[in-house]
Amino acid sequence: MALVTTKEMFKKAYEGGYAIGAFNVNNMEIVQAITEAAGELNSPIILQVSAGARKYANHTYLVKLVEAALIENPNIPIALHLDHGADFDICKSCIDGGFTSVMIDGSRFPFAENIEVTKKVVEYAHAHGVVVEAELGKLAGIEDDVKVSAEDSSYTQPDEVEEFVSKTGVDSLAIAIGTSHGAYKFKPGTKPQLRFDILHEIEKRIPNFPIVLHGASSVPQEYVKIINENGGKLKDAIGVPEDQLREAARSAVCKINIDSDLRLGLTAGIRQTLFADPSIFDPRDYLKVGRANVKAVVAHKIKDVLGSEGKA
């Protein structure tokens, strides 16, 4: 099977009350871990690449790694998506370079400018058979080294979504309802609560339209503990409760973005292995443990959070 867009995936997910996992890829081990888990569970999957990932691994390497994963997992639909495209140029470069989906993130702009840049990307993408995700509202947290404080974040305003979607022609919309980027989302001891009232209001304004949640890592405490017990120094924090993500996946939310949880799993495996045996210097010895953790995280999300098992 060739790479697919998210069109069909989202239609089925919307109707079936589940969501597709969008996991960030930066190297071979991460691509392998995600697609092996999805392949074994017969789940559709979105592999997403940030500007930082393209800078680190190089566009061509990432595309070719994903193509290799397609060959290894011929029975599941895989989409290749640009995560947080900052401007038209990076979106164009990914559309021209084999991606099937791009995000134009104009959330830092005023409403009219966000519409303008999104529309421009949509016109180019659709002319090339590629779908587009945009964002309204602003998430807190860290993304590509840019930190948005909780005070500067803002929930998506339901009043704006209809006009935004109709004027831009965009295919899916990322909204801000209380999730945030990174591994330091909420203070331990607090009770994070997503704003389902805003989500449901948005659903009413744009029925049958796929919604995206960014910043959806749950920060598995067992990996934080392993990292800190093996020389790491992560601050105490908790993530988005998984039962709330499961609830979101039953609604109009068709794509759920997860990156930090994979990073924690990978790092925990590497630290644990190197600390247990300081004589190790073959990268395969520690990367395979990190890779196995990433695979376990993805399998757990597919089965217990997203509900996409068996939906390929």
- Contact segment (CB under 6 A) with ligand 13P among 37-45, 215-223, 277-285, 304-312 equals 215-223
Cα 69 from Cα 40, distance rounded (Å): 13
* Contact call for residue 253 and ligand 13P (CB under 6 A): no
| 29 makes contact with ligand G3H (CB under 6 A) | no
Helix (H, G, I), strand (E, B) or coil at 63: helix
- In the complex with ligand G3H, which residue's Cβ is closer, 181 or 311? 181
Q: What CA–CA distance (Å, rounded) separates 71 from 125?
A: 25
Applying the rule CB under 5 A, the residues between 178 and 217 that interact with Zn ion are 214
The DSSP-derived string for 103-140 is EE--TTS-HHHHHHHHHHHHHHHHHTT-EEEEEESB-E
87 is catalytic: no
Helical H segments across the chain, by residue range = 7-16, 28-40, 51-57, 59-72, 88-96, 111-127, 158-168, 196-205, 221-229, 242-249, 260-276, 283-300
Footprint (CB under 6 A) of ligand G3H, residues 76-105: 83-84
**Of these, 130, 258, 302, 306, which contacts ligand 13P (CB under 6 A)?**
258
Among residues 23, 69, 86, the alpha carbon closest in space to that of 49 is found at: 23
Residue 153 as a binder of ligand G3H (CB under 6 A): the answer is no
Instruction: Choose from ligand G3H, ligand 13P, Zn ion, none: what does 217 bind? Cβ within 5-8 Å by kind.
Output: ligand 13P
Q: State the nearest-atom distance from the C-beta of 71 to ligand 13P, in Å.
A: 26
Subset of residues 252 to 271 that bind ligand G3H, contact rule: CB under 6 A: 259
Active site residues: 83
Interface ranges with ligand G3H (CB under 6 A): 24, 50, 52-53, 83-84, 143-144, 181, 259
What residues make contact with ligand 13P under the rule CB under 6 A?
24, 83-84, 181-182, 214-217, 257-261
